[in-house]
């Protein structure tokens, strides 16, 4: 049975916003109280009905409650309902190309594409992606806190065991799963992560400023849009919204940050990482370094599987692209099998009231004792 629940979560404390905001989750079969599976969608293809079907089927098969949620800035791709807005500055470019191609009448993108169909040329334009809830790019931190607060709400509301919470996600969804275990060490029993980032991808935060799109979209056969979700962050130094070293570090898994996780009780979570040998979107070498550092720092169970051509089986691994064409239900089956084989001891860390992370220029603190987990950030002296 599906239930939709609206819950309170953290406001954007990095910009000085206090209080809470609301979003929602969809939860299945809460009569299974022995555990909770949280499916975390990525940017596009596994949103909506895919995520809900995963939860419904997985819940019944493994007899645990399962949920998915609308975290901050979800739905940021056209396939997931995001709107595309071409920059005003590009209208002159369209008009000029339209005239050069001999066009008459109104110089629209569609009309320009029709003219270009008879040539070997194409045109690239820049624009914004406007997510379904009209939110901005935060890259991870608010979304991770949404997931933490959804877990707290669901386990309390439906009396679910906090000793058996499993997170599963692909790409950005896997990254968020790992980030949850950072901001709240000891909350999660296991993470099954397919092809996530180990470090902050600046293209998603300040890509427009860098001239690097986070997403390219072929809106017409001869017209490609280079797009970014609107972001409040900047690389310009000395401003309240400067994306400084500490802003990046809190969103990543460098060795010092992993050490802080370990020091605060994060070593007991069971991690399963799958990553293609070469991944042009989420660099493989960074993920390998992350896994090696975790093992060195005393994380007890980190299974890192680097996939090559010999692993393509048409069932779990279908290709060596980003995400490897992986069925997430099959991936959960594999991860859960590892978890059952090793059967690690895990108990939710109910003694941790605050998590703190020291970065190069900032100190981040997360209040874990409150009904709604919130964060605060201060400048280092």
Q: Does residue 223 sit in helix, strand or coil?
A: strand
For residue 329, the model assigns a pLDDT of 95
For residue 338, the model assigns a pLDDT of 96
- With 0-12 / 13-18 / 19 or more C-beta atoms within 10 angstroms meaning exposed / middle / buried, residue 221 is exposed
For residue 374, the model assigns a pLDDT of 96
For residue 119, the model assigns a pLDDT of 86
For residue 45, the model assigns a pLDDT of 66
Q: What is this structure's pTM? A: 0.94
The DSSP output letter for 234 is B
For residue 80, the model assigns a pLDDT of 82
Measured distance CA(271)–CA(261) in Å, rounded: 14
User: From edge to edge, which strands make up the β-sheet containing 362-367?
Assistant: 354-358, 362-367, 374-379
Which ranges in the chain belong to alpha helices (H)? Answer: 49-62, 91-100, 109-116, 141-157, 172-183, 203-210, 245-250, 255-263, 284-296, 328-342
Return all residues near 234 (Cβ < 8 A) that are at least 6 apart: 206, 209, 241, 242, 243
For residue 313, the model assigns a pLDDT of 93
Return all residues near 346 (Cβ < 8 A) that are at least 6 apart: 163, 164, 189, 268, 269, 270
DSSP 56-90: HHHHHHHTSEEEEE--TT---SGGGT-EEEE-GGG
Q: Does residue 365 sit in helix, strand or coil?
A: strand
Torsion sign, CA atoms 257, 258, 260, 264: positive
For residue 94, the model assigns a pLDDT of 86
For residue 72, the model assigns a pLDDT of 95
Straight-line distance from the first to the last Cα atom of the chain, in angstroms, rounded to the nearest whole number: 52
Give me the average pLDDT of each 10-residue run along the chain (381 residues).
95 93 97 97 81 96 97 89 88 87 85 87 91 90 97 97 97 97 97 96 92 90 92 93 93 97 96 95 96 97 96 94 94 97 91 95 95 94 82
């Amino acid at each position: 049975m599906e239930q939709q629940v609206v819950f309170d979560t953290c406001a954007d404390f990095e910009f000085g916003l206090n209080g809470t905001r609301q979003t929602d989750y969809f939860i299945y079969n809460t009569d299974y109280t022995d555990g909770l599976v949280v499916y975390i969608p990525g940017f596009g293809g596994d949103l909506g009905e895919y995520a809900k079907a995963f939860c419904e089927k997985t819940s019944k098969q493994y007899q645990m409650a399962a949920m998915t949620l609308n975290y901050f800035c979800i739905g940021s791709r056209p396939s997931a309902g995001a709107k595309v807005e071409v920059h005003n500055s590009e209208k002159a470019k369209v008009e000029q190309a339209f005239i050069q191609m001999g066009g008459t009448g109104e110089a629209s993108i569609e009309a320009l594409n029709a003219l270009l169909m008879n040539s070997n040329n194409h045109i690239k334009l820049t624009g914004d992606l406007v997510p379904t809830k009209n939110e901005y790019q935060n890259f991870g931190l608010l979304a991770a806190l949404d997931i933490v607060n959804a877990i707290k709400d669901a386990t309390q509301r439906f009396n679910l065991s906090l000793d058996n919470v499993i997170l599963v996600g692909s790409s950005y969804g896997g990254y968020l799963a790992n980030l949850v275990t950072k901001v709240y060490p000891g909350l999660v029993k296991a993470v099954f992560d397919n092809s996530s980032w180990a470090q902050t991808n600046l293209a998603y935060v300040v890509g427009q400023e860098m001239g690097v799109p986070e997403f390219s979209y072929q809106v017409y056969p001869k017209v490609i849009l280079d797009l970014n979700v609107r972001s409040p962050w900047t690389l310009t130094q000395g401003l309240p919204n400067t994306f400084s070293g500490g802003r990046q570090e809190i969103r990543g898994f460098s060795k010092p940050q992993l050490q802080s996780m370990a020091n605060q009780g994060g070593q007991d979570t069971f991690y399963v990482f799958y990553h293609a040998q070469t991944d042009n979107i989420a660099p493989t070498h960074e993920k390998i370094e992350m896994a090696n550092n975790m093992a060195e720092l005393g994380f007890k169970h980190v299974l890192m599987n680097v996939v090559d051509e010999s692993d393509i089986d048409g069932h779990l691994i279908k290709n060596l692209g980003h995400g490897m064409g992986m069925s997430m239900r099959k991936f959960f089956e594999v991860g859960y099998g590892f978890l059952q084989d090793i059967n690690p001891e895990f108990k939710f860390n109910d003694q941790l009231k605050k998590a703190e992370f020291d970065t190069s220029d900032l100190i981040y603190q997360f209040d874990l004792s409150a009904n709604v987990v919130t964060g605060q950030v201060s400048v280092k002296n």
